[in-house]
Structure 1
């Protein structure tokens, strides 16, 4: 069980690091945000103190309809919380009243950018590399045309002076 917990922790840490990659931080139309609602969740207990199996399917591993409903509520609520202030556990109360709605102050899903955590980095990022794509495209075009011209010139020069064949001599 400890090995499984460590593997899960490593996976969650890797996904979290992925959300800070520059290609995701610089975009306004796409974001990677870790939703940690399941990070510190414990298996719910029934009235006898054992695991409440109504949250799991017959294989005792996958969620049942009730378990999926709880996870959906927890995920939705997590997406409405700012990055850095997200809930890391689920209380499994099976109550629809805990379902949150977007607030008038922030009527959107929270990302690193709109949570104001990386304001300086995210604003400077897109402007720094805005010149890179046209320069790379132009440089690639010039390099490609130059290579083709050099190859054609070399090939044409070889055709002007064909090699002498040894088969032309007969005894």
Structure 2
């Protein structure tokens, strides 16, 4: 169980870091906001001191209708809380009066931007890597094309040299090979 809790905590931490990426922080039309209502949650116990299984379906893994209702209320309430002030645990008592409503002062779901936790202009990401990838790709393509051209030029010369080595030692064939070489050089 401890290993599962650690895995869950690591996943939640990773998602939380994702919400601070520049590409999401700068946008006005899109936001990633972590809702930590389930981070430090303990399910209520039954009369005998055991886990109240009414929150789970028959397979004891998925939530039951009651469990889904409680999760939905906790998520809704979490979305109506400013970032930095969000509840990280839930009180799983079946009570619909705990459901929050947007206030007239804040009739919206909270994000990093509208929670006033960000400066007006976020830092620009380093532009060092933004140009390095295209330059490396174009450079690699150029080197590849140049290598192919050189290989195509050297290949016929080597073939001619191999043919010369295999020719019998006669004056007629030596003269023909010399003429070929002169034409290639010209």
- Same fold, TM exceeding 0.5? yes
Match of 2:22 in 1: 22
Aligned partners of 2:122, 2:82: CA distance in 1, in Å?
22
Shift of 1:119: 2.4
Aligned partners of 1:23, 1:70: CA distance in 2, in Å?
33
* Matched position secondary structure for 1:119: coil
Aligned partners of 2:39, 2:16: CA distance in 1, in Å?
12
Match of 1:81 in 2: 81
Q: What's the TM-score once normalised by structure 1's chain length?
A: 0.73
Aligned partners of 1:124, 1:58: CA distance in 2, in Å?
48
Aligned partners of 1:124, 1:32: CA distance in 2, in Å?
15
Q: What's the TM-score once normalised by structure 2's chain length?
A: 0.67
Match of 1:106 in 2: 106
RMSD value, Cα: 3.7
Match of 2:5 in 1: 5
Aligned partners of 1:32, 1:103: CA distance in 2, in Å?
22
In structure 2, stretches of 5+ residues that fail to align are 132-137, 143-186
Match of 1:63 in 2: 63
Q: How many residues align?
A: 163
Match of 2:93 in 1: 93
Shift of 1:2: 1.3
Structure 1 stretches of 4+ with a deviation exceeding 4 A read none
The answer to whether the aligner puts 1:41 opposite 2:76 as a matched pair is no
* Matched position secondary structure for 1:68: helix
Shift of 1:48: 1.8
User: Which of 1 and 2 has greater Rg?
Assistant: 2
Shift of 1:124: 4.7
The answer to whether the aligner puts 1:51 opposite 2:23 as a matched pair is no
Query: Once the two structures are superposed, what CA deviation does each residue of 1:124-147 show, in whole Å capped at 9, x if it has no partner?
Result: 55xx69xx9xxx9xxxxxx9xxx9
Aligned partners of 1:7, 1:51: CA distance in 2, in Å?
21
